[in-house]
Structure 1
Amino acid sequence: MKSGLSGAEQCIKYVLFAFNFIFWLAGTGVLAVGLWLRFDERTKGLFTAEGSPSTFLTGVYILIVAGAVMMVVGFLGCCGAIKESSCMLAIFFVFLLIIFAAEVAAGIWGLSNKEKVVKDFQDIYQQTFANYQTTKQEALRETLRVTHYGLNCCGPTGLPTDGVSDICPKKEGLEILVTTSCPSVIEEIFTSRLQVIGGVGIGIGVITIFGMIFSMLLCCAIRRTRDIV
């Protein structure tokens, strides 16, 4: 059956399809990372070990749920656009509205609780380090190694006496004397890169708004053509 949409509305239809296909791919990636962290040999022990950092475990499950939701939303948007289904587009719009509201709420909460967030992340690292020193679990060791290399830091004090130099970034010459502690790096990242994080959040919010606008325009156009028929 020939579509009753105008040229501009057809353009919106395919732009919305492309947007949601990318969104679906991103959700697939997020879900894959979450599942990898959950079932990888080096980290799955954290989910059964006593005293494992609860925030890390919660974060992994959030990644899995977020990835699954993104895939569902992307699928609804793709099918709604290509099949010209006003019902799917309406559900897609509601999902985007919920996501946008969650983004705004998370942004406001993050800005108003910046110091608490920094302290929580520092506590998570300290807890993981203390648990490793007590249990010597390989999963905790791998978590610390990834953290050290990712943040370019070493231990809670940055001193050789921490006893974790073998899982810290290798340095040569005078750099050995300038090792940075991980808690101080965590604080520096949240302080110096807050604008970048905020910019990314605003960018995602703008994309979400455009997705809602395009889905609503296309939904109204589809209903209009059906009413004419």
Structure 2
Amino acid sequence: MGLSGGPACIKYLLFIFNLLFVISGIVIISVGAVVQATYHKYEPILDDSFFSVPALLIATGSIILIISFFGCCGAVKENHCMTITFSVLLVLIFILELAAGIAGYVLRNRAEDVLQTHLMETMNQYVENTEYTTLWDGMQREFECCGVKNASDWNVVFHNESLPTSCCFGLPGSVGGMNCTSTDVNNVHSEGCLVKMGEFITNNAVALGGVGIGIAVVQFLGIVLACCLARSIRQHYETV
């Protein structure tokens, strides 16, 4: 004989929760994959730790899709063992998501120091390294920035007033082209790429952290429901 009353209500709530759980897994994978792909364009100026958080979210989302099977089966079949297994796995996922969320916020605070170091290193090799040439030109056009802190940073590279065409408005030019100068104040992007990239990394870090912590809080409800259902199943069959 199956569960009835309050325990039956918990059973159906847990089943509905698992459907939401699957959706949350897909959301986590999507957010992690989008951020990972976005970061990939700027791999030379980002530390490996920046890729660990989206990778952790992708792995967590994949695991969520798998363990939701235990939750659905445990609820529908009123199986105590599967429900307990689901609860334990859910606790582990809860911890992983909190870790990803906290790591995302920590990276936000480290972003500027890491970026400044790598931006200076890659800028100094702008002429010799075509990968860095493409990176800088793409970054300066996308974020409408110039240099690390401002356009004068390029003096160290070119030893004159020349700037990459990507520093200036209305000059598409070729990759690595130098057709404008720092004296063209009205045509040069005024902000440095450190500020723009810092904002970009911060926004992504907040998004990753928010998704990780937000879904972890929701999943805490699932842990409570699963534990209540497991206890109800055990008590029910002990009295039968």
| TM-score where L is the length of structure 2 | 0.59
**Could you say what secondary structure the match of 2:81 adopts?**
helix
Describe how 1:14-25 pairs up with structure 2 within 5 A.
Answer: 14-25=12-23
Q: What do the CA deviations read for 1:31-63 (whole angstroms, capped 9, x no partner)?
A: 46767888x8xx69x7xxx99964465456434
The residue aligned with 2:11 is 13
Q: Share of identical aligned residues, percent?
A: 27
Contact 1:24 1:73 in 2 (8 A): no
CA-CA distance at 1:215 after TM superposition: 0.8
Contact 2:10 2:225 in 1 (8 A): yes
The residue aligned with 1:154 is 145
Residues 206, 58 of structure 1: alpha-carbon distance in 2 compared, 3 angstrom cutoff: closer
Q: Aligned-residue CA RMSD in angstroms? A: 4.9
Contact 2:56 2:100 in 1 (8 A): no
**Could you say what secondary structure the match of 2:9 adopts?**
helix
Cα separation, 2, equivalents of 1:143 and 1:67: 33
Contact 2:101 2:213 in 1 (8 A): no
Residues 69, 199 of structure 1: alpha-carbon distance in 2 compared, 3 angstrom cutoff: closer
Cα separation, 2, equivalents of 1:33 and 1:201: 10
Cα separation, 2, equivalents of 1:53 and 1:112: 13
Cα separation, 2, equivalents of 1:144 and 1:79: 53
Cα separation, 1, equivalents of 2:64 and 2:124: 36
The residue aligned with 1:180 is 191
Amino acid at match of 1:4: L
Contact 1:97 1:212 in 2 (8 A): yes
Report the structure number with the largest CA radius of gyration.
2
Q: What do the CA deviations read for 1:166-223 (whole angstroms, capped 9, x no partner)?
A: 59xxxxxx99666533422454578899998876665434313211111100111111
**Could you say what secondary structure the match of 1:81 adopts?**
helix
Which structure: greater helix fraction? 1
Amino acid at match of 2:18: N
Cα separation, 1, equivalents of 2:26 and 2:198: 31
Contact 1:21 1:75 in 2 (8 A): no
Structure 2: 5+ residue runs without aligned partners? Answer: 155-162, 176-184
Cα separation, 2, equivalents of 1:79 and 1:198: 31
Residues 191, 109 of structure 1: alpha-carbon distance in 2 compared, 3 angstrom cutoff: closer
2:96 counterpart of 1:85:
no
CA-CA distance at 1:103 after TM superposition: 4.6
